[in-house]
Structure 1
Amino acid sequence: MEDFDYVIVGAGSAGCVLASRLSENGRYRVALLEAGGSDLNFWVRMPIGYGKAFYHDRLNWKYMTEPVPGFGNRQAYWPRGKVIGGSSSINAMVFIRGQAEDFDGWQALGNPGWSYADVLPLFRRMEDNLAGADTWRGRGGPLTVTSIEDVVHPLCRNYVEGSVEAGLARNPDFNGATQEGVGIYQITTRNGFRCSAATAYLAPARRRPNLQVLSSAHATRLLFEGRRAVGVEYRQGGALRQIRARREVILSAGAINSPQLLQLSGVGDPALLARHGIPVVHAAPQVGQNLQDHIGFDHLYRSRRPTLNDVLRPWLGRLKVGLRYVLTRSGPLSLSVNQGGGFFRTSPEHARPNMQLYFSPVSYTRAVPGRRALMSPDVFSGFLVGVSNCHPTSRGALTIASADPFAAPLIQPNYLSTEEDVRELLDAAHFLRRLSQTGPMREIIESEIRPGPDIVDDDALIADIRARSGSVFHPCGTCVMGPDPAGAVVDARLRAHGLDGLRVVDASIFPRITSGNLNAPTIMVGEKGSDLILQDAR
């Protein structure tokens, strides 16, 4: 059994940051365990390849939730990265930090050091924004952020102009002075390739002799001596192995696998652990609670003008864009399909934007999990305009299904379990209808396919929302950060309450979900966590 100073479980958005930062001074031996394999994969590196990774057996955990009452007892599909880089290797690459109020709210909940003023320098430190540095943006950091304003599909112009006509302001940077408004997303790509956390942080660090990366190493339980975490048991290559941590074990396995591993290791609700015959190391019923996620839905339109469907559907079109990408690293394959975006308030009662917008110049039928490997564009010219809620009030929970570390946990997100969540998504549906009636959008809309012109009154729209909404794949909060051990899993320094030598550093610590995509704030948590760990090591 080999000893390291720090053992990190999970090479995802936060874990890659930790591996890089904790090993860069050369003083500490660091081990990084990842259940998945290499990210040297075409579908990972090519930006639009996430359509293939969406259901890829080797790159994706492909979780399913339990039937959700608010969804008419439908299950929701939760893709999560099972690969070096974690979900940053399979996501849509949209770079959104969140609103300043999100982080000020974290601090107000009793977490000193997490205000927006505290975390803004970390966001700037991690970023290499090709547009240049300013008050909010960084240059020269590990993570490349690219503007696609000049290369997006021409229909994005109609979307932006239509949104302005509908009452939204133009916003050139959703991570600048304000998040509110409409514009074009920035994405995490570099020279036409995906810039994941693995590309940004881990790849340069892997040359260091004091960092060891163990891939295809599935953590099965944490090792404790009394109440101190001293190592990790994992399975690799058919063998059960152990690795020890002299200083700390750090869980960065994400909002699903971090609480799952804690429960498998005897840290959780004693009644749950007793049902599965797991000895209690520390009674912590809050592990797996506070589960939050953004949900959303699309309105699907038939277009009067060509869309990406006309390029990506025919074999000749795919050949042309494929050759363009291979030769120049440009064109549609170098982008995300989420090109236009924005944030708005569904009513004046909201003090800040509560809804996110998406414009995709492509329409597709999402694959049935496990049956089709690729999202296929529709045979007609089509596009999507979607929304998702920024501040859902519904809360779910995650629990192990058995003592088997290879069994998927039970995930119940409880979507649309509050009237507030239903009402604001209904208001968002009405906004999409107003947007579709603006002059610039009428120029390109031939007809509305979904929900369809017959779905008009509130009851019908709510029924459509319950029938067609889905996860936006932003789970968080299941190892919540807070000052009270009775209600939180970790403290503001990300140390596990009631235990020694153990921290959790990933999206599971979010007290409340941030506004927008979660990859950027999760990487920031990795930066913050590394600072805290190194400060405490002095």
Structure 2
Amino acid sequence: MQTFDFVIIGAGSAGCCLANRLSIDKTKSVCLIEAGPNDNDIRIKIPIGLVSLMKHPRFNWLYTSTPQTQLKHQSIPIPRGKTLGGSSSINSMVYIRGRPSDYDRWSELGCTGWDWQAVLPYFKRSEQNMRLGSDPLHGDNGPLYVEDPPSPNFLCNVLTAAGVEIGIPSNNDFNGEIQEGLGTYQLNMHNGSRWSSADAFLKPVLKRPNLEVITNAEVKVINFNNKRAESIIIKKGNNLEKINVHSEVILCAGSIGTPTILLQSGVGPAIQLHNLEINVIHDLPGVGENLHDHPAIPIHFSAPSVGYGVTFKTMPSILFSSLEYLLKRRGLLTSNTVEAGGFARTNKNISEPDIQFHFIPARVGHQGSSIVWGRGYYSDVCLLKPTSRGRLWLEKIDGEYQPQIDPNLLADIDDKHTLTDGFKILRQLLKAKPFRRYNPLEICPGDKIKTDKDITDYILSHLGTAFHLVGTCRMGSANDHQTVVTPDLKIKGLENIRVADASIMPEIVAGNTNAPTIMIAEKASDLILDNRQ
């Protein structure tokens, strides 16, 4: 039986960062536990390999939602990383922080110390921006590389030109003073390879004698004594093992994993736990509530001569791309698929963007999960500030507790209206003059979808998400009954346990969530270490 000062559950975007920062103190022992395997697979390293990871059971939890009432009772896929680096090892590598008003809003909701001026230093501490590092809003000496795409498809420039034509400006820094506009995304990539949280934070410190990393180990329960976390039980292979905790348990298992572990451990809504015959350690109603994501709807275009794709004519260049990658770390294999996009407003009377575009210069399957025969391009539009809220709970299936995930997408009618307006802007963008020279054909949904009712029906039949689940262990003030963690990230009413991942977000940020999750871990490390002094 081992004992550690700090036990971190989940070696994802947050957990890898936290393991690095906490193990700097050589007098403190740190254990990082990951349910999945090591990340030493070439499909993780080569950016285009993410297409095969979307449905890979070894590196992906492959969750699905409950049937969605608003979506004609369809379930939607919810990929989540299950390897060192977590979802930063299977995502599209886009580096977006959100905007200052997101974090100022957190502060208004009771998250004291999480306003923009308070969190900006933590973004900068992580970041090593190869183009913008000298900018006062960016970092140039952190372990997390942020780079421009090595070989962006020329259609990214076409997208930007199309935006200018319809009144959306170009933007070369979505994390700068102004978020609005279109351009190529900056990526967590280095020398043509994915640069995950594991690459940035964990691998450089694996030889520290006070850091132990355990893979292929699923946490089954956290044990409490008088509401004080004192040990955890992990399942490794067919064996159960106990790990004792001297100082703190820090949950970094994400918006699905973290509430699932808490509920299994008897922390959550008492009624639900009683119904599951789980011993109630602490009645905490907010665990599993406040679940939300960025709902997204796509448009697919075929174009005979542009975009990545598989055709007889492109076969030679596809074969050559392997050699180009091997020799130069450039070309098709460096594509993260979502090479460009940006932010826009559906209503010029609002002050900030309410939609985001994810543009893929290729013919792809649903939500970019596969590359299909033919050439063309794809984009989705997602709703940045949904008001619909869902929840997560447990059910016992075949003797095991399983999370039931209901994001409750588009339950609020305003979400439907805004996404419908966003779809119309996306269609206008992709049919603008700069694209027309390539003779595109809209193949999904197609020109028969014209009226607002047609568009809404299409949305309800084809909706997905941006895979940005947040909120299930909401941060807030101690007197809010839905608060799970207070601004110091301690779980309300418990001792020796914190949460530091995307589940603490009271409201989703306006953009991709990987960078904000790493920021949360950076700030968490200071909160934990300052508490020890």
Report what 1:95 is aligned to: 95
Alpha-carbon offset, residue 438 of structure 1:
2.1
Report what 1:492 is aligned to: 487
- Pairs aligned (count): 531
Q: 1:264-413 residue pairs with structure 2 within 5 A?
A: 264-310=264-310, 315-366=315-366, 375-402=369-396, 407-413=401-407
Tell me if the contact between 2:169 and 2:180 (Cα under 8 Å) persists in the aligned partners: yes
Q: 1:30-69 residue pairs with structure 2 within 5 A?
A: 30-69=30-69
- Deviations along 1:370-423, one digit per CA (max 9) or x if unpaired, are xxxx94423222111221111011100001112889543100110010111001
Q: 1:183-222 residue pairs with structure 2 within 5 A?
A: 183-222=183-222
CA distance in structure 1 between the aligned counterparts of 2:362 and 2:405, rounded to whole angstroms: 31
Q: 1:89-128 residue pairs with structure 2 within 5 A?
A: 89-128=89-128
CA distance in structure 2 between the aligned counterparts of 1:445 and 1:513, rounded to whole angstroms: 38
Report what 1:475 is aligned to: 469
Q: 1:3-42 residue pairs with structure 2 within 5 A?
A: 3-42=3-42
Report what 1:136 is aligned to: 137
CA distance in structure 2 between the aligned counterparts of 1:146 and 1:535, rounded to whole angstroms: 32
- Which letter maps to 2:258? S
- Which letter maps to 2:517? T
Bigger shift: residues 124-133 or 494-503: 124-133
- Deviations along 1:247-272, one digit per CA (max 9) or x if unpaired, are 10110000001000000000011111
Q: 1:72-91 residue pairs with structure 2 within 5 A?
A: 72-91=72-91
Report what 1:450 is aligned to: 444
Tell me if the contact between 2:52 and 2:370 (Cα under 8 Å) persists in the aligned partners: no
- Deviations along 1:426-470, one digit per CA (max 9) or x if unpaired, are 101111232234211212242111111111001000000111110
Tell me if the contact between 1:310 and 1:317 (Cα under 8 Å) persists in the aligned partners: no
CA distance in structure 1 between the aligned counterparts of 2:353 and 2:306, rounded to whole angstroms: 32
Q: TM-score, normalised by structure 2?
A: 0.97
Report what 2:506 is aligned to: 511
Bigger shift: residues 442-451 or 452-461: 442-451
Alpha-carbon offset, residue 276 of structure 1:
1.2
- The correspondence for 1:466, drawn from 434, 456, 460, is 460
Instruction: Tell me how large the CA RMSD over aligned residues is.
Output: 1.6
Report what 1:423 is aligned to: 417
Runs of 4 or more, structure 1, over 6 Å off, are none
Report what 2:148 is aligned to: 147
Tell me if the contact between 1:301 and 1:449 (Cα under 8 Å) persists in the aligned partners: yes
- Which letter maps to 1:106? W
CA distance in structure 2 between the aligned counterparts of 1:61 and 1:79, rounded to whole angstroms: 6
- Which letter maps to 1:76? I
CA distance in structure 2 between the aligned counterparts of 1:59 and 1:147, rounded to whole angstroms: 26
- Deviations along 1:288-334, one digit per CA (max 9) or x if unpaired, are 00001011111111214321014799554432112211222211211
CA distance in structure 1 between the aligned counterparts of 2:399 and 2:7, rounded to whole angstroms: 19
Report what 2:173 is aligned to: 173
CA distance in structure 2 between the aligned counterparts of 1:235 and 1:78, rounded to whole angstroms: 24
Tell me if the contact between 2:269 and 2:285 (Cα under 8 Å) persists in the aligned partners: yes
Tell me if the contact between 1:85 and 1:196 (Cα under 8 Å) persists in the aligned partners: yes
Distance of aligned partners of 1:453 and 1:200 in 2 relative to their CA distance in 1, 3 Å threshold: same
Report what 2:515 is aligned to: 520
Structure 1 portions without partners, runs of 5+:
368-373
Distance of aligned partners of 1:281 and 1:178 in 2 relative to their CA distance in 1, 3 Å threshold: same
CA distance in structure 2 between the aligned counterparts of 1:404 and 1:102, rounded to whole angstroms: 41
Tell me if the contact between 1:312 and 1:318 (Cα under 8 Å) persists in the aligned partners: no
The answer to whether residue 433 in structure 2 is matched with residue 439 in structure 1 is yes
- Which letter maps to 2:37? G
- Deviations along 1:184-243, one digit per CA (max 9) or x if unpaired, are 100001111110000000001111000000101100000111110112110112210011
CA distance in structure 2 between the aligned counterparts of 1:250 and 1:43, rounded to whole angstroms: 30
CA distance in structure 2 between the aligned counterparts of 1:489 and 1:444, rounded to whole angstroms: 52
SS of equivalent to 1:496: coil
Report what 1:235 is aligned to: 235
Report what 1:537 is aligned to: 532
CA distance in structure 2 between the aligned counterparts of 1:418 and 1:403, rounded to whole angstroms: 31
CA distance in structure 1 between the aligned counterparts of 2:206 and 2:400, rounded to whole angstroms: 28
SS of equivalent to 1:387: strand
- Give the share of equivalent positions with the same residue, in percent: 40
CA distance in structure 1 between the aligned counterparts of 2:128 and 2:311, rounded to whole angstroms: 31
Tell me if the contact between 2:318 and 2:332 (Cα under 8 Å) persists in the aligned partners: no
CA distance in structure 2 between the aligned counterparts of 1:163 and 1:354, rounded to whole angstroms: 16
Distance of aligned partners of 1:311 and 1:406 in 2 relative to their CA distance in 1, 3 Å threshold: farther
Distance of aligned partners of 1:202 and 1:312 in 2 relative to their CA distance in 1, 3 Å threshold: farther
- Which letter maps to 1:8? I
Distance of aligned partners of 1:3 and 1:311 in 2 relative to their CA distance in 1, 3 Å threshold: farther
